[in-house]
Structure 1
């Protein structure tokens, strides 16, 4: 059975009954500190919703618009978000242990200050253009197929992160730690004389190293 809901109260009732929720229209609704653990949400819109402190652990959210939603201090432990629009959403203080983001639109999303990251935290095929990931501890994680164009990763701990097929064009890496971060399959964008300092400690491919040397005015001979 799939529940069609139009009010926060109906959404809460559906979750308590263990029913999937399809295509709700709950833009800017107030769900602060609500227990929505195990939510199965398919489509619909909660754009601009107030989800501060909300329990969303074990939630399954697919194709839903959560643009501009306030998820500060929310608990998304073991949640899986697939194809969701999280543009401009805020996650400061949110618990994202073992959370998975697959194919999500996260343009301008603020992940700064999120908590509880575990080794199975996943960012896969997400659009994170101009997103704020500053000062995050992402050490040893795998980030695959993500567009981090002009995203802010300043001060982040990126040691041993496996970046696979990511776009890092104009990405802010000021004071980030990149020791053993694997960038070999990534699009690094324009290589400038500042690039070696920004990528200090990272693992790059021979072609990337050649481009960096060229930007420094060096000639590499085989």
Structure 2
């Protein structure tokens, strides 16, 4: 850490973090904010890259355009936070709470979101390429036109989510629960749906992993293991 920055030890305790101090600076690269209370703080365009924000309280904070590259946000509280166009590439968000957060057009490439809570989050056009969303909760999330190519969604709960026009090419959706999800015009080419549950999912013009699974064509055989779906979805002819 450069000599022009406050030493990490000065920010060790949550009570030492002043919101005024945070507002005065904009570059917190590598800073230590463990368990800091920044709820509701305006942090637009702030640089938190490689910062330690373990268990930090950032609920309702405005982090639009913020740079959180490789930030450590494990178990952080980001409920209802504004992360519009925030850069979270390679960030560690394991077990974090992002329920109701706005991540519209945010970039989360290679981010670790293992078991994170993203229920009702807005991920419209978010870039989640190769993101790790194993056992994450995305129930009711808006993933319209989101890029989830090669994302790890093993065991994720994605029920009732909006995945219209989402890119899920090469995604790992084994054991994922997509019941009731809207996959209209989503691209699932190369995705692994072994043991996935798509009961009640909307599959209008969805590009499925195997041509035999396309809506409008009866399924005679399926190469996937224990694929669960409502076969009536494939029985009706597309308009």
Q: Same fold (TM over 0.5)?
A: yes
Q: Which residue of 2 aligns with 1:93?
A: 105
Q: Which residue of 1 aligns with 2:209?
A: 202
Q: Which residue of 1 aligns with 2:77?
A: 65
**Cα offset, 1:138, TM superposition:** 2.3
Query: Given the alignment of the two structures, is residue 129 of structure 1 paired with residue 139 of structure 2, yes or no?
Result: yes
CA deviations 1:173-205 (Å, max 9, x no partner) are 1111223322122122348xx76x666533553
**3-state DSSP class of the match of 1:100?**
coil
Give the alignment's Cα RMSD to 1 decimal: 3.0
Q: Which residue of 1 aligns with 2:219?
A: none
Question: Does the Cα contact within 8 Å between 2:13 and 2:36 map onto a contact in 1?
Answer: no
Q: Distance in 2 between matches of 1:47 and 1:210?
A: 37
Q: Which residue of 2 aligns with 1:53?
A: 65
**Cα offset, 1:37, TM superposition:** 1.4
Give unpaired runs (5+ residues) of structure 1: 217-222
CA deviations 1:97-133 (Å, max 9, x no partner) are 2222111111111111224x54x42212111000011
Q: Which residue of 2 aligns with 1:219?
A: none
Q: Which residue of 2 aligns with 1:143?
A: 153
Question: Does the Cα contact within 8 Å between 1:3 and 1:20 map onto a contact in 2?
Answer: no
TM-score (norm 1): 0.81
Question: Does the Cα contact within 8 Å between 1:154 and 1:172 map onto a contact in 2?
Answer: yes
Q: Which residue of 1 aligns with 2:3?
A: none
**Cα offset, 1:23, TM superposition:** 1.9
Aligned match for 1:160, one of 170, 173, 184: 170
**3-state DSSP class of the match of 1:60?**
coil
Q: 1:158 to 1:122 in 2, by over 3 A?
A: same
TM-score (norm 2): 0.76
* Higher relative strand content: 1
Aligned match for 1:184, one of 178, 185, 194: 194
Aligned match for 2:114, one of 76, 99, 102: 102
Query: Given the alignment of the two structures, is residue 212 of structure 1 paired with residue 222 of structure 2, yes or no?
Result: no
Question: Does the Cα contact within 8 Å between 2:38 and 2:57 map onto a contact in 1?
Answer: yes
Query: Given the alignment of the two structures, is residue 75 of structure 1 paired with residue 87 of structure 2, yes or no?
Result: yes
Moved over 4 A (4+): 9-13, 15-19, 197-200, 213-216
Question: Does the Cα contact within 8 Å between 2:158 and 2:177 map onto a contact in 1?
Answer: yes
**Cα offset, 1:17, TM superposition:** 8.4
- The count of aligned residue pairs is 211
CA deviations 1:77-113 (Å, max 9, x no partner) are 2211111110011112222222221111111111112
Q: 1:210 to 1:23 in 2, by over 3 A?
A: closer
Q: 1:32 to 1:188 in 2, by over 3 A?
A: same
**Cα offset, 1:53, TM superposition:** 1.1
Q: 1:153 to 1:215 in 2, by over 3 A?
A: closer
